[in-house]
Amino acid sequence: MTITHHPADDTLLRHATGALNAGLALVVEAHLTGCPQCRARVAGFEALGGALMEAEKLEPLAPAAFAEVLARLDEPPPVTTAPHVPRRAMLHLPPGMKLPDVLAGCDIGRWLWFGPGVRYSQVRLPWAPEANVMLLRVAANRGVVTHSHALHELTQILHGGYSDCTGSYGPGDMAEGDELLLHQPRADAEGCLCLAALEGGLRLGGWLGRLQRRLGQ
């Protein structure tokens, strides 16, 4: 697998510092699993951050800090809850393919219709239920509706590939979009399966976009 499209350095830096929201961070982790180049970049950012923290002048502890720590030791332990058991719909995946390990603790819904030849499955993160994450499957030579994004979008290609105005993407590649990008990804002859996270919603183009704006008024 040859990876030709990677997250921007700004995205990797935000991931290394914990500044990405949970959904975007999950998709970046899916990319890092198969990309040693980006893992090295993140490790470099983390090392730089550690060096900067060590160079900072340490502030002395407040006089009562030690007593406060001792007092907390006497507090009752927090109430534990039963571990979350992920709910998984029976998704039909391409032969020989499995979902990324980063989805192990997530709830994954069934395929839902999103247009001719296009299906999506909502991915719920129990630790961040507000995150907007989905699996998207597009049939061979089909395209999704023309759209832009309210803010940031990250898409990790898991199987097959697609092309749009920014280039062609294959397995292991990551695509980034923002509010300035208007595109219509079209799957290649093998179809496409990807993991995507949205920061904000989609802005549809064409007559669907006009309808979306009218309904939002």
The model's pLDDT over 79-109, given as tens digits with 9 standing for 90+, comes to: 667 788 899 898 989 888 999 999 999 999 9
- Cβ atoms of 158 and 193 within 8 Å: the answer is yes
pTM of this structure: 0.81
Determine the 3-state secondary structure of 176 from DSSP. Answer: strand
Cα separation, 39 vs 13, in Å, equals 11
pLDDT, one tens digit per residue, over 143-191 is 998 888 888 999 999 999 999 999 999 999 999 998 888 999 999 999 9
Model confidence pLDDT, tens digit, residues 49-74:
766 666 666 667 677 766 676 667 66
> For residue 216, what pLDDT band results from cuts at 50, 70 and 90?
very low
Encoded amino acid at 118, one letter: V
Terminal-to-terminal C-alpha distance of the chain: 46
**Residue ranges of domains in the chain, CATH in brackets:** 1-57+102-217 (2.60.120.10)
How far apart, in whole angstroms, are the C-alpha atoms of residue 182 and residue 203? 9
Average pLDDT taken over every residue of the chain:
86
In whole angstroms, what is the distance from residue 109 CA to residue 76 CA? 38
- 211: pLDDT strictly greater than 70: no
Token pair listed for 18: 């914990």
CA distance 42 to 49: 10
Residues ≥6 apart with Cβ < 8 Å to 59: none
Confidence (pLDDT) at 140: 97
| Residue 206, pLDDT score | 52
Evaluate whether 103 touches 91 at the Cβ level (below 8 Å).
Answer: no
Q: What is the DSSP string of 107-141?
A: EE---EEEETTEEEEEEE-TT-TT-EEEEEEE-TT
